[in-house]
A and B are shown apart, each in its own frame.
Chain A
């Protein structure tokens, strides 16, 4: 079961990277980012899962699942949301300047 989730994580992450590398639309880049981030979240949680474990809410009915990655994932989700919101703000601002959303047109950082 763990192998299946690890496979999904690997595929999802590389899909996100592929999107960022290939797509020319800034929104697609953001989508790629979101996919990569959720892949990491999935990795954390599927790594924390113990086959017969119960949710980490006391009183435990059986052996508990590893609660530490859950706390880390929580933080990751919130911070991921923050930087995605920032990404949207950047896109809106850049669109204000460049009048398009094409990533290749943001060429101010020339060598």
Chain B
């Protein structure tokens, strides 16, 4: 493991973070934030965490930045009142905050330093690494943990996404969507026409091979959402709305969640308890083949549906508001 490369990456992460914080121009601080995300993804990859790197690259540096830009372009920013902030003068606030953060950093570092002893695998992890193939038939241990050993938490997680989507569409409800919106130029449209199938293929591969190679429901779903956003941007919301209406997005989302619960119930039906793998219709199959991880494939599909539809409907709701702004 190359030590200097990691040090270099850490330095750049901190550099871009500082830039993102102290730059006055918001747009460029957003971009440097996404650069931090990308660098973080490379660090994760170097630290032997491919799944997390993939997710980080897609969600934190991809989706979040696009949502950030949409939110930024929507809010009408009247210039900040330059007067001294009334709560407490800035000359007092900056040093005080700096002191607090420095103390916090010292404390955190001291705490972590005492932790940094010799690292050995705990019992749980050794069990996971040794038994996953036999117990779940999946090759990707992380996906096995997520979808088999701790499937219930993943269900909880999908409900969190559901809650976020519901919250956002509640907050930003109202405002109708303008149909006739031309997208970008002809060249970009044709280019996208060429690229979209490959993107979709890539998303499907992440989704369905989640239990074999790094990937899974969340990453696949997010890539689908990104593809939806790209189409929305390139071809304009008119084209996109006629293709996949918001109603169908909702049904997809709810369908994903229900599929997840249904698979869980299937496990319970065969006496294995809610979300039990390798029970009834689900069999371990030959490791490495597509239908090998018991119900993990279908769970991935359910989560993918949910996350894809959810995130794209978030983007869709935000976009919709924007269009309404554009009209006045």
A adjacent to B, CB under 8 Å? yes
Tell me the A residues contacting B by CB distance below 8 Å. Answer: 1-15, 17-19, 21-25, 27-28, 30-32, 34-35, 38, 41-43, 45-51, 53-60, 63-68, 70-71, 73-75, 77-86, 88-93, 95, 99-102, 104-105
Bound-state CA distance A49–B36 (Å) is 21
Q: Which of A35, A68, A90, A99 contacts B76 (CB 8 A)?
A: A99
Q: For chain B, residues 95 to 141, give those with C-beta under 8 angstroms from any C-beta of chain A.
A: 97-98, 100-102, 104-106, 108-109, 112-113, 115-116, 119-122, 124-125, 128-129, 132-133, 139-141
Smallest CB–CB gap between A45 and chain B, Å? 5
Bound-state CA distance A66–B93 (Å) is 42
Smallest CB–CB gap between B284 and chain A, Å? 13
Chain B residues contacting A88 (CB-CB under 8 Å) are 67-68, 70-71, 318
The stretch of B81-89, B187-195, B251-259 in contact with A is: B81-89
Please, which residue of chain B has its CB at the minimum distance from the CB of A64?
B129
Answer whether A56 and B112 are a contact pair too, CB < 8 Å, given A13-B105, A100-B80.
no
A25, B59: Cβ atoms under 8 Å? Answer: no
Please, which residue of chain A has its CB at the minimum distance from the CB of B126?
A64
Please, which residue of chain B has its CB at the minimum distance from the CB of A37?
B60
Number of B residues near A (Cβ < 8 Å) is 101
Bound-state CA distance A37–B163 (Å) is 20
Cβ-based interface call for B74 (8 A): yes
A10, B109: Cβ atoms under 8 Å? Answer: yes
Smallest CB–CB gap between B126 and chain A, Å? 9
Answer whether A92 and B100 are a contact pair too, CB < 8 Å, given A8-B10, A104-B86.
no
Chain B residues contacting A51 (CB-CB under 8 Å) are 1, 119
Per DSSP, chain B at the interface is helix
Smallest CB–CB gap between A91 and chain B, Å? 6
Chain A residues contacting B40 (CB-CB under 8 Å) are 38, 41-42
Question: Which 3 A-B residue pairings sit nearest by Cβ, starting from the closest?
Answer: A82-B164, A14-B101, A88-B71
Bound-state CA distance A31–B109 (Å) is 22
Interface centre among B1, B75, B109 (most CB of A within 10 A): B75
Answer whether A13 and B108 are a contact pair too, CB < 8 Å, given A57-B141, A81-B63.
yes
B98, A45: Cβ atoms under 8 Å? Answer: no
Smallest CB–CB gap between A16 and chain B, Å? 8
Chain B residues contacting A50 (CB-CB under 8 Å) are 119-121
Q: For chain B, residues 14 to 39, give those with C-beta under 8 angstroms from any C-beta of chain A.
A: 14, 17-18, 20-21, 26, 29-30, 33, 36-37
Please, which residue of chain A has its CB at the minimum distance from the CB of B110?
A10
Please, which residue of chain A has its CB at the minimum distance from the CB of B102?
A14
Answer whether A18 and B101 are a contact pair too, CB < 8 Å, given A6-B116, A9-B108, A104-B87.
yes
A18, B167: Cβ atoms under 8 Å? Answer: no
Q: Which of B6, B87, B164 contacts A86 (CB 8 A)?
A: B164
Answer whether A17 and B141 are a contact pair too, CB < 8 Å, given A38-B37, A58-B132, A88-B67.
no
Name 8 interchain pairs, CB-CB below 8 A, sorted by A.
Answer: A4-B10, A9-B112, A23-B21, A31-B20, A48-B49, A56-B129, A56-B140, A101-B80
Chain B residues contacting A3 (CB-CB under 8 Å) are 113, 116
A10, B75: Cβ atoms under 8 Å? Answer: no
Bound-state CA distance A35–B141 (Å) is 28
B64, A79: Cβ atoms under 8 Å? Answer: no
Interface centre among A8, A73, A88 (most CB of B within 10 A): A88
